Structure 1
Amino acid sequence: MKNTEPKYINRITVDPEICHGKPCIRGMRWPVEVLLDMMLSEMSIEEILEDHPELEKEDILASLEYAKMLVSGRTITLAA
């Protein structure tokens, strides 16, 4: 069975002073929902990284991992 332990979740942070406390990437003003929206609009990981060099591939994977954990019902504790 594949390891299901979170690998990237530590890249997701919540700070009430940043983006109204929404889950963001590494304390930056990049809400997880914005990255998910870009992927939903069919942008590839490569396109996102090319357009936004401050992001890293692991940030996008962290967004997907966060979304997966939410729909699975797992308890998520995020860093501030």
Structure 2
Amino acid sequence: MQKLMDRITIDREICHGKPTVRGLRYPVETLLELMASGMSIEEILADYEDLEREDLLAVLQYASRLSKVKSIEVLDAA
């Protein structure tokens, strides 16, 4: 598990400090949005040749860890 998580990097000089994959300037957020839109791992890998399957698995694992919170405050959409 930790080996996959090592693929997620945070560097203030890259993408304004957002979590990225291996410092390649692919934000975790963007890759999650692609998967949520229905793109398969294979389709993403075809579009972004410098990514590896393990990178996308690390993105999913990272999101899973972030979702393990005790409570979420609902924001008012005012």
Mark yes or no: TM-score above 0.5.
yes
User: How many residues are aligned here?
Assistant: 69
Pairwise CA RMSD = 1.1
Residue 15 (structure 1) aligns with: 11
Residue 23 (structure 2) aligns with: 27
**Relative contact order, CA 8 A, sep 6+: which one is greater?**
1
Contact persistence 1:11–1:25 (CA under 8 A): yes
Q: What is the rounded CA distance, in whole Å, between the counterparts of 2:40 and 2:66 in structure 1?
A: 22
TM-score by length of 1: 0.81
**What SS is found at the alignment partner of 1:27?**
coil
Deviation above 4 Å: which 4+ runs of structure 1?
A: none
Q: Which runs of 5+ in 2 are unaligned?
A: 70-78
For the pair 1:46 / 2:42, whether they are aligned, the reply is yes
Q: Which letter does structure 2 place at the counterpart of 1:25?
A: V
The one-character-per-residue Cα deviations of 1:9-52 (angstroms, maximum 9, x if unpaired) are 00000000000000000011000001000001100000000111
Q: What is the rounded CA distance, in whole Å, between the counterparts of 2:40 and 2:24 in structure 1?
A: 21
Answer with 1 or 2: which has the greater Rg: 2
For the pair 1:56 / 2:52, whether they are aligned, the reply is yes
Q: What is the rounded CA distance, in whole Å, between the counterparts of 1:7 and 1:13 in structure 2?
A: 12
